[in-house]
Amino acid sequence: MENFYTNDNCPIRDVLSRLGDKWSMLVLVTLNANGTMRFSDVHKAIADISQRMLTVTLRTLEADGLISRKVYAEVPPRVEYRLTELGESLMPRVQMLVDWALEHMGEIMKHREVMVK
């Protein structure tokens, strides 16, 4: 039997809890697909996220080193986000999950319908 780290020291739990929230993967996929984006463009691309939740998600991803934030000294201020090298290194793995989800979504929805009945 393979044992894992305790809760306080488990890199698997730590990373998955940060990336497994409702919005982080969508933000990463959006930045990966579009390149450098302004806050308002990310918000338009993920229409159902609130501005506050997008701000929190971007700050968390920035704190983990997955995205970078660049502020331009303009009026009004312009802020752009992009994937870092670390974030880019994650994207092939995320894309595999995205591809799997797209391939199997119909089957998953059928199973959910059966469970609801």
Q: What is the C-alpha separation between 116 and 15, in angstroms, rounded? A: 32
Q: What is the C-alpha separation between 102 and 100, in angstroms, rounded? A: 5
Q: What is the C-alpha separation between 26 and 72, in angstroms, rounded? A: 25
Q: In what order do the strands lie in the sheet with 78-83?
A: 37-38, 78-83, 67-72
Give the pLDDT band (50/70/90) at residue 17.
confident
> pTM for the complete prediction?
0.85
How does pLDDT run across 66-93, given as a tens digit for each residue? 999 999 999 888 999 999 999 999 999 9
